[in-house]
Structure 1
């Protein structure tokens, strides 16, 4: 027969959780007494007992048993046969012989068979404290080992399913303590070879980068975190990688170095392409500045000479044309330079940029309302140009007393600048960003084009739409917003 007292949920395997015990003994009265005494020792125990050894395998399989205690000499089966039954279902289950048969030969046989422990029955209550301690020790140890094995397996799976090389070296780099298999595909060398020669990865490093890399290794051994970019062999070519090395310090001494290495070839290629693009734009701007302004200066000089020799309305028309050409050249230069990709992004407080931009323009009777208590990653100077141009555009088209509002979009995807002046006609809302488009006879048509270039250089997007109060609204999206109170690097 089987009796199960107050079974509880044993889904957790932490050492403080309940322990489910199966007691096997051919004497039911004794089995009940053991149950009462063990449950009195700690509320962690729930005890199920049986007088039928043939039930053991089924109970262990179905009831989530954590430990089996068994008598040795029973009519139908010995305790060691019960051990075989239990271990056939759960090979590692703690098993304790609790028996009044205490010969050395039986104890030796039990140990050889693999029992976890051996306790002699006595007529004193202290034996249950001893038995409870042994049960708790063996079960908690098994659970801790299971947690450790599970954690190790999870860490192994994590390490083997990352694109980065994860590694640990001794403090002086003379011994490899751990590295994942990604090393072999990234460096083209075997882990076995690296274990034998822990600095063999330097053989795959570009000769021009070896000195910088070894110096970084020395600095890390001295206790300083290091980040370094360098090139390694990749077939007939070279690829760029970046390594982060962190010294592990115990008692003020570096005991090992842990870190990771990842492939940054695509990023470096983008940086090179970006640099080349920015260089082309800068050359274009220089050509515009030099080759157009020189003849313009000549024309302006001869105009002054002509004014001294004669008085004509035609000369004033020429002067206006030259002034407009100067304005166009200046804005073309700005447009070219603002088309360069942003490479210097920093955390900035949006409110500060807005207020600074507002103070940089002649806003007259216009009003600014801004509620943007956020930080964003941006080029502070170029973002200021966005706001200055949007503010001037609002005043130019909305009137001297226009109200301009800056706020955060409802979905936190970015921010907006709107005014209560004249709305932008729906069929013009995309056209207004085209270079040279303007509805103002005195305008150049570059202002909003410059804004769009700066916005896109940040990786954002801008669109024009109707304002909530009937005016124009510009929404800039793709911006990562962070609470102003949050500390950022």
Structure 2
């Protein structure tokens, strides 16, 4: 047998020398040992004896004469090759010829050397023996490493690769579970005609980001790690995690002359993380570095023991209260300045849930320095070790005070617009009623003058519709204000209302009002309709200017003092039946407030009914 151990303790080379002439054999053994002390020579007189020793001892190289008694050197070589196809074999003969050499090469001889007339050729032979054995050992070691690598790759849950660092990342070598991961055989991904990993396998939406991650890591001189999706050969989308490094293939002279071009090759490992991606929250929880969280200036963060004792607190959290780190570390989290007494039970319950492995979301109000409060939303997250046990708790919160106030403001604006839409719907009923009434009169009497009034009412409906659309689009009930003559505005309203013939109106103390024209017109329309609704067909109204605004009054039944505070509430009506909707005065108040004005109900001065005083300054 021959040695298969590449880590020989003595680094010796055991040589089997086969020679049937005893004197020549002894000379060869002595000469070779003298020429190279690494050589350990054993001799045999025949090929059969040589085969026997070869099967029972560790041999690194065979040296054989060609002219043996029972079997030629070439026959001996052929017998060796049947059992040991790669063992170094040197034919060392004194009767060499081209025919013998050709025959030996065909039989697989490692080297061929003639003995010559003196002992000088033994020095050449010793050198040849050392060279062929070292080469053989190196080849065997490389083959063994290759087998080990292949075994390792075949057992890896993923793909190993070598590719060019160029768009598309063309592969030079791919090994591992390619078909299981992406549906392609390894060979399909290799070569210029192969499937391009970067252009055909990586998901289109992830290609640019993944390329940038890799190139940025290369520029920093670091290994790269990236996560991305792939589209398999069957069209399935899966998640991959990749780690790799750059391999600098630049020649030394290019590096020395200052060449800065990017190296050409990448080597790395890719594995499927589709299943773990679904548990990404747990992975982030166990892998996230606490120092990164603690340095986030937007987060209030505390690290807690399972019983709720504060182990660490970040600077951001301390900025909100009059306390320093030593005041809170080691204390129960429920007793720290961020919580009020009535919050203790909730906090204890959140800690217990997190300690049992739950991911707890919360929103709370924190007292802060100066007697103020802030609104926060956050989490109590269990920190889990590799065995799945909860080891600690991270409590984190974000100040959302401004966001919550913005949300409340949006809700107020939405409610205001909803209310406005309701008022417009109410205001539309007036001109619609006018149009319907006038058209019915035109049909009954044949008097087409009623149609003209009906057309005016329809145009008023269109104006109100446009006003509604503009307001909903802008979010503002009052847009641009302009000086308006009160008498002109009231005349236009009186015409549009089409009041009963018995009703009378007068404008006294004319005034100019800075107002939104459309909004002021709706305000006056609602006041007039309110007078008609509560005062009847013969009601008289009066309007005039004040030093700081204007007034409107009628001689209807008025509004009792105990009802005046509720008169502007939607749905309120002083009528004892269901005829009144209670929306008209609510609409008036909304328009007044939208202008920044004030309105008050008083007893009539000139007329005996209700008096509305609107202060615009």
Scaled by the length of structure 2, what TM-score is found? 0.45
Q: Give 2:181's match in structure 1, choosing from 155, 176, 186.
A: 186
1:459 matches 2:410: no
Give the conservation status (yes or no) of the 8 Å contact 2:198–2:207.
Answer: no
Cα distance change of structure 1 residues 346 and 37 upon mapping to structure 2, 3 Å threshold: farther
Scaled by the length of structure 1, what TM-score is found? 0.55
- Per-residue deviation at 1:389? 2.5
Deviations 1:219-246 (A, max 9, x none): 5787865432222236675322122242
Counterparts in 2 of 1:325-340, with a 5 A limit?
none
Give the conservation status (yes or no) of the 8 Å contact 1:10–1:18.
Answer: no
Task: Give 3-state SS (helix, strand or coil) of 1:257's partner.
Answer: strand
Deviations 1:156-185 (A, max 9, x none): 111121112211112325632111241222
Counterparts in 2 of 1:29-428, with a 5 A limit?
29-172=23-166, 173=168, 175-195=170-190, 196-199=193-196, 202-216=199-213, 225-233=223-231, 238-251=237-250, 252=255, 253-271=262-280, 344-346=288-290, 381-383=301-303, 389=309
Cα distance change of structure 1 residues 451 and 78 upon mapping to structure 2, 3 Å threshold: same
Task: Give 3-state SS (helix, strand or coil) of 1:29's partner.
Answer: helix
Deviations 1:292-330 (A, max 9, x none): xxxxxxxxxxxxxxxxxxxxxxxxxxxxxxxxxxxxxxx
Q: Which residue of 1 aligns with 2:21?
A: 27
- Per-residue deviation at 1:132? 0.6
Task: Give 3-state SS (helix, strand or coil) of 1:261's partner.
Answer: strand
Q: Which residue of 1 aligns with 2:323?
A: none
Q: Which residue of 1 aligns with 2:5?
A: 12
Q: Which runs of 5+ in 1 are unaligned?
A: 1-6, 276-340, 354-378, 392-416, 419-441, 462-474, 480-489
- Per-residue deviation at 1:347? 6.4
Cα distance change of structure 1 residues 176 and 142 upon mapping to structure 2, 3 Å threshold: same
How far apart, in 1, do the equivalents of 2:107 and 2:305 lie? 83
Task: Give 3-state SS (helix, strand or coil) of 1:383's partner.
Answer: strand
Give the conservation status (yes or no) of the 8 Å contact 1:221–1:254.
Answer: no
Cα distance change of structure 1 residues 204 and 72 upon mapping to structure 2, 3 Å threshold: closer
Deviations 1:363-398 (A, max 9, x none): xxxxxxxxxxxxxxxx9943257698379xxxxxxx
Deviations 1:190-235 (A, max 9, x none): 3343232342564344343233234446657878654322222366
- Per-residue deviation at 1:138? 0.8
How far apart, in 1, do the equivalents of 2:156 and 2:83 lie? 36
How far apart, in 1, do the equivalents of 2:118 and 2:183 lie? 68
Give the conservation status (yes or no) of the 8 Å contact 2:383–2:392.
Answer: no
Cα distance change of structure 1 residues 218 and 37 upon mapping to structure 2, 3 Å threshold: same
Instruction: Decide which moves more: 142-151 or 31-40.
Output: 31-40
How far apart, in 2, do the equivalents of 1:343 and 1:255 lie? 33
- Per-residue deviation at 1:49? 0.7
How far apart, in 2, do the equivalents of 1:160 and 1:478 lie? 39
How far apart, in 2, do the equivalents of 1:250 and 1:273 lie? 40
Cα distance change of structure 1 residues 51 and 186 upon mapping to structure 2, 3 Å threshold: same
Task: Give 3-state SS (helix, strand or coil) of 2:240's partner.
Answer: strand
Cα distance change of structure 1 residues 190 and 12 upon mapping to structure 2, 3 Å threshold: closer
Q: Give the aligned CA root-mean-square deviation in angstroms.
A: 4.1
Tell which structure's C-alpha radius of gyration is larger: 2
Deviations 1:240-286 (A, max 9, x none): 212224221133541211122222223321235899xxxxxxxxxxx
- Per-residue deviation at 1:137? 0.8
Q: Which runs of 5+ in 2 are unaligned?
A: 256-261, 312-328, 331-341, 358-381, 394-617
Task: Give 3-state SS (helix, strand or coil) of 2:263's partner.
Answer: strand
How far apart, in 2, do the equivalents of 1:185 and 1:476 lie? 34
Cα distance change of structure 1 residues 65 and 380 upon mapping to structure 2, 3 Å threshold: farther
Instruction: Decide which moves more: 250-259 or 193-202.
Output: 193-202
How far apart, in 1, do the equivalents of 2:214 and 2:94 lie? 65
